[in-house]
Chains A and B, each alone.
Chain A
Amino acid sequence: MLEGKLEQASLFKKVVEAVRELVQDCNFDCTENGLALQAMDTSHVSLVSLLLTADGFSEYRCDRNLALGINLVSLTKILRCGNNEDILTLEAGDSADSLVVRFENTQQDRMSEYALKLMDIDQEHLGIPETEYAASITMPSTEFQRICRDMQSISESITIDCTKGGVKFTCEGDIGSGSVTLKPNSSADKPELCTKIDLSEPVSLTLSTKYLLNFCKATGLSQQVTLKLADENPILVEYPLSAGHLRFYLAPKLDE
Chain B
Amino acid sequence: PLDQDAISTFFRSS
Contact = CB atoms under 8 A, between A and B. Distances in A.
Interface of A: 40, 44-47, 124-129, 156-157, 206, 208, 233-234, 249-256
Contacts of B5: 45, 251-252, 254
B7 A45 contact: yes
B2 A126 contact: no
The 9 A-B pairs at the shortest CB distance, nearest first, are namely: A127-B14, A253-B2, A126-B11, A44-B6, A251-B5, A47-B7, A251-B7, A253-B4, A254-B3
Given A44-B7, A156-B1, A250-B7, 10 more contacts: A40-B7, A44-B8, A47-B7, A125-B13, A127-B11, A128-B11, A206-B2, A251-B10, A252-B4, A254-B5
A233 B6 contact: no
Interface residues of B, number: 14
Contacts of A256: 2-3
A254 B12 contact: no
Given A45-B6, A234-B7, A126 B1 contact: no
